[in-house]
Amino acid sequence: MCGVTCQLRTVGPGMSTLCVLRTRCFLRQVLPGLPAAMHRHYSLDVSAPLLRTQGYVDGRWVSAASVFPVLDPATGKEIARVSDCGPAEAKQAVDAAYKAFHSWKQCTAKERSILLRKWFDLLTLHKEDLAKLITFESGKPMRESLAEITYSASFLEWFSEEARRVYGDIVPSPAKDRKILLLKQPAGVASIITPWNFPSAMITRKVGAALAAGCTVVVKPAEDTPLSALALAELAEQAGIPAGVFNVVPCSREKTPAVGEVLCTDPLVAKISFTGSTTTGKLLLKMAADTVKKATMELGGHAPFIVFDSADVDKAVAGAMASKFRNSGQTCVCSNRFLVQSGIHDRFMEKLGKAMDAELRVGHGSEPDTTQGPLINTRAAEKVVQQVSDAVSRGAKVLKGGKRLDGSFMEPTLLANVTTDMLCMKEETFGPLLPVIRFNTEEEALAIANASNVGLAGYCYSQDVSQIWRVMEALEVGIVGVNEGLLSTPEAMFGGVKQSGLGCEGSKYGIKEYLEVKYVCFGGLKP
């Protein structure tokens, strides 16, 4: 039922000359500054074993009754057709995971560690092909896709080591005839629901911890980016992960609600972990409440980026570029609200504008000099356009960009004269829009930064140590970058406060999300 379409290669026996000409015309309109790109024919060329289009349940590749298309967001062309799994396949995956859990949890921590390490080695070995999958299904520039695979693999490496550090406790007893033991045990089957913006790393960050703890998983990848998840399943199988321990049920947008309901309500599921919007996270929590499941939620952000007068301007500009324009602004810890103090504001804006001109290149992600790929779909581009239009109507000035290009491409945009009543200051953008507010005092900046119902990440640039300490403690977020725009690493925890989520991922704390603590009172002992 499922297979790769003829359009896996932009030029081939299955693609007409007219289609090629249309693609060239599209790219001319989108990439006017990259004439060399007009002569390129974009093709997804990866080794056959990694290009999977069926679901993966109980160690088997399974077809569904129908398929759904996966599109290259840069060209709008279909690159594959994938099994459109529904509630029946989701239930089969849950059952398989539950069955496998009883044997997987009996494996020693060292055995689980060795298998996770083998999986890590395979990701590293196949990083080029895995990065190509990310670029073609999400639009991410190839250099960022390669970085994501390194990041994705690092979670398997980290949790392969953490698997052997799940320690219980022996607590001093108040009575001489008993001992108090606290055991750490795996929670059970975990439903893993992941987004499209990091289609590999968001899976391994969750699954690495789950498998290390002794849990089994069912992964529901985003409908835009199922190929990366299925490639991970192929490599998990090659690594020797037993059947039923790691399952993947891809599905279309239309079937997502029904599949999500199974994964959040089935009594055999003990835990759900979700990365995505706050709105969707609330719906999943409501569904999981009836069976009182453990839940980890990594939800929306609206990160403030504060530049104080004492900041090193060059470092602040570099941090802003890295934090805002990575993945074309489509990350949950992207800076959304830029607050620059009056004394440094004009210099910062001048240097930032020059950096945008010098460093940002819009194009297809497979082009080596591309730094800004497309947004994931046209709806995402429309949202950015709406925020720009709203800001301009309220007095903002467009200093760079501001225009939507063809398809889902958007010009990187810099706004000045921004005020707090503008839409871009009230809701997450998820696009290459950089709005700047001028402020006068530290208190004013903190009031603006904390005026949000979400709190995932925040950034501040200053060389005043006392100020750094005050701001770091006062920011109502779970993650703070001080003089640094890129924060994520497997060694550090990742999580937010307010409506940005529950629990955390990564670090030594991430594995605890998949563990239960059991108290054992061992009595009747002779003193």
Burial 143-167 (b: 16+ CB within 10 A, else e): ebbbbbbebbbbbbbbbbebbeebe
* Active-site residue, 298 included: yes
Using a cut of 0.85, tell me whether the model's pTM lies above it. yes
- Residues 463, 340: contact at Cβ < 8 Å? no
Is 456's pLDDT higher than 60?
yes
Active site residue 332: yes
What does the pLDDT average to over 180-188?
Answer: 98
Whether pLDDT at 113 is above 80:
yes
The pLDDT tens digits for 367-380 are 999 999 999 999 99
Contact assessment for residue 387 and residue 429, using Cβ atoms and an 8 Å cutoff: yes
Q: Mean pLDDT score of the chain, rounded to an integer?
A: 92
Given strand 413-416, what is the order of strands in its sheet?
397-400, 413-416, 433-439, 335-341, 303-307, 457-461, 479-482
Q: How many residues does the chain have?
A: 527
**Residue 256 tokens, joined:** 């997502």
Give the pLDDT band (50/70/90) at residue 40.
low
Question: Using 50, 70 and 90 to split pLDDT, how confident is the model at 509?
Answer: very high
Provide the token pair at 122.
Answer: 């395979």
pLDDT-derived band at 42, boundaries 50, 70, 90: confident
Catalytic residue among 2, 215, 264, 332: 332
What is the average pLDDT across 340-361?
98
Residue 60 backbone phi and psi in degrees, to 5:
-125, 150
What's the confidence (pLDDT) of residue 20? Answer: 30
Q: φ, ψ for residue 459 (rounded to 5)?
A: -135, 145
Percent of the chain with pLDDT over 70: 92
Q: Determine the pLDDT at residue 53.
A: 98
